[in-house]
């Protein structure tokens, strides 16, 4: 019996030790989790404090991302609230730095948090569509916008109006101009009802882009200037990046190159100063167009190469397709026909994959010019016809644009390199 008692005593002692070790381990884990939680809260406060100081956030972003990643492993409602708070605080930074793929991942996690907390996901669905659009994932962007419209209709008028605006812009980017104009008109009415003057300015900017596509440059210029006035009346202290860009684009198309360079150089310098990768790429790309028109091919190629590197680094597929189209025309201007065709075909393939119909029409028009310069009249004529037919089907082949296309064709065949549309 004494032996049996010793065995029982030993067993109980072992069990006690085991339970003590388990309790200590649990306490240590809890303390570490508490430390991670406290770090996540402290870093969120920092993100909110410096949300407009992007240089400071650059220094802190690795730590912020670490806390975000830790929060994604937690299952509590408190962690879900923190995840949404992180997304709200850091969205301006992620946008400004062109971190669209990162923003998309954060949106996916944020939508799961909304589901856990039973919060309306409309705003996050709209933000997800923005990231998808920037990455050239237009099918996904369209689905997210439709989901945002359904989630916000009758529940969140402000988000609903912005979602309708996003749909109109997407339709326009895909070349569905008739449908886009109807959607944008509806968006302007809804935004006006919400006193969302910034949103109204965006609609008018899109309308100006329609005049630009039709070759009615003076009307486009007038509208872009009115957009700038409207934004400043609403409290903006400086001309927006997009308006600077479009003023530069219109002046280039009007062949007013000094004014075009002035606007685009301002955009480039501002974007570099703010480390805005996307805006820097776009400014460099459009400045390259100006220098190409002026015959400064070395400057054009330098800026175009910079744009391609930045677009590819940020995953901007549409920007990449635009820049390769441009690179093809630079090669054409330098007499390297085969290389020009290679770049233009690459641009065309990306645009077809994206469903960018207006871009496809543009690529076909550029290919026609290169083939005609290389002495391939039948191929050139066929691609020009396909381009004109597509422009007509999209509803943007006005008389002014048709004349501009013919003038552009003649300019390039004569070696003047005047790309105006």
**How many Cβ atoms from other residues are within 10 Å of residue 178's Cβ?**
11
Say whether 403 sits in a helix, a strand or coil: helix
pLDDT value of position 98? 83
pLDDT band at 31 (very low <50, low <70, confident <90, very high): very low
CA-based angle 272:212:416, to the nearest 5?
80
Q: What angle do CA 127, 132, 137 make, to 5 degrees?
A: 155
- Tell me which of 173 and 54 has the higher pLDDT: 54
pLDDT at 85 over 60: yes
The three-state DSSP-derived secondary structure of 293-327 is HHCCHHHHHHHHHHHHHHHHHHCCHHHHHHHHHHH
Helices 157-173, 138-152: inter-axial angle, 10-degree rounding: 160
Which position has the higher pLDDT, 414 or 366?
Answer: 366
The pLDDT value given to residue 415: 64
Note the residue count of the chain. Answer: 421
Does residue 420 have a pLDDT over 90?
Answer: no
Q: What is the pLDDT of residue 25?
A: 52
Residue 248: is it exposed, middle or buried by C-beta count within 10 angstroms (0-12/13-18/19+)?
A: buried
- State the residue for tokens 């309790």: 23
Answer whether residue 117 shows pLDDT above 80: yes
User: How high does pLDDT run on average in the chain?
Assistant: 87
Q: Lowest-confidence range among 162-166, 196-200, 362-366? A: 196-200
Span 165-192, average pLDDT: 88
**What per-residue confidence (pLDDT) applies to 132?**
92
Which pTM was predicted? Answer: 0.66
Q: What single string gives the DSSP state of each residue in 219-263?
A: HHHHHHHHHHHHHHHTT-SS--HHHHHHHHHHHHHTT-HHHHHHH
Backbone angle region of 136, left / alpha / beta, with phi > 0 → left and psi within -120 to 50 → alpha: left
Q: How many other CB atoms are found less than 10 A from the CB of residue 235? A: 8
pLDDT digits (tens, 9 = 90+) for 315-372: 889 999 999 999 999 999 999 999 999 999 999 999 999 888 889 999 999 999 999 9
* Percentage of the residues of the chain whose pLDDT score is greater than 70: 90
Q: How many CB atoms lie within 10 A of CB 5?
A: 9
The pLDDT value recorded for residue 158 is: 94
Q: Picking from 8-17, 129-138, 142-151, which range would have the lowest pLDDT averaged per residue?
A: 8-17
**Is the C-alpha dihedral spanning 366, 180, 171, 304 positive or negative?**
positive
Q: For 5-15, what is the mean pLDDT? A: 52
Burial grade of 193 (CB within 10 A; 0-12, 13-18, 19 or more): exposed
pLDDT band with cut points at 50, 70 and 90 for residue 24: very low
Q: Is pLDDT above 80 for 213?
A: no
């Amino acid at each position: 019996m004494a032996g049996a008692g010793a065995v029982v005593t030993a067993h109980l002692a072992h069990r006690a030790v085991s339970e003590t070790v388990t309790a200590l381990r649990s306490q240590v884990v809890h303390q570490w989790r508490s430390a991670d939680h406290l770090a996540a809260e402290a870093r969120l406060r920092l993100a909110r404090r410096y949300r407009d100081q992007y240089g400071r956030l650059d220094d802190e972003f690795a730590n912020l991302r670490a806390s975000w990643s830790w929060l994604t492993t937690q299952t509590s409602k408190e962690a879900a609230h923190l995840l949404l708070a992180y997304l709200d605080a850091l969205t301006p930074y992620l946008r400004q730095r062109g971190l669209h793929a990162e923003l998309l991942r954060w949106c996916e996690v944020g939508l799961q948090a909304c589901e856990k907390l039973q919060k309306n996901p409309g705003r996050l669905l709209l933000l997800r569509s923005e990231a998808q659009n920037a990455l050239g994932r237009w099918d996904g962007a369209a689905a997210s916008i439709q989901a945002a419209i359904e989630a916000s209709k009758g529940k969140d008028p402000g988000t609903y109006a912005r979602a309708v605006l996003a749909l109109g812009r997407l339709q326009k980017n895909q070349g569905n101009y008739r449908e886009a104009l109807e959607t944008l008109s509806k968006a302007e009415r809804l935004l006006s009802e919400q006193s969302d003057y910034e949103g109204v300015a965006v609609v008018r900017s899109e309308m100006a882009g329609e005049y630009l596509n039709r070759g009615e440059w003076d009307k486009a210029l007038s509208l872009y200037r009115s957009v700038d006035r409207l934004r400043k009346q609403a409290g903006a202290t400086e001309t927006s990046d997009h308006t600077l860009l479009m003023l530069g684009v219109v002046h280039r198309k009007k062949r007013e190159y000094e004014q075009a360079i002035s606007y685009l150089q301002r955009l480039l310098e501002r974007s570099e100063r703010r480390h805005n990768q996307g805006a820097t790429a776009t400014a460099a790309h459009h400045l390259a167009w100006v220098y190409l028109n002026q015959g400064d091919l070395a400057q054009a190629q330098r800026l175009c190469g910079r744009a391609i590197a930045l677009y590819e680094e940020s995953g901007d597929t549409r920007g990449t397709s635009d820049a390769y189209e441009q690179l093809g025309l630079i090669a054409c201007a330098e007499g390297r026909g085969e290389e020009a065709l290679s770049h233009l075909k690459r641009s065309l393939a990306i645009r077809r994959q994206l469903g960018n119909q207006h871009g496809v029409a543009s690529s076909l028009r550029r290919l026609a010019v290169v083939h005609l310069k290389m002495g391939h009249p039948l191929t050139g004529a066929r691609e020009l016809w396909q381009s004109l037919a597509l422009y007509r089907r999209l509803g943007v082949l006005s008389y002014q644009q048709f004349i501009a296309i013919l003038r552009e064709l003649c300019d390039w065949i004569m070696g003047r390199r005047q790309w105006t549309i």
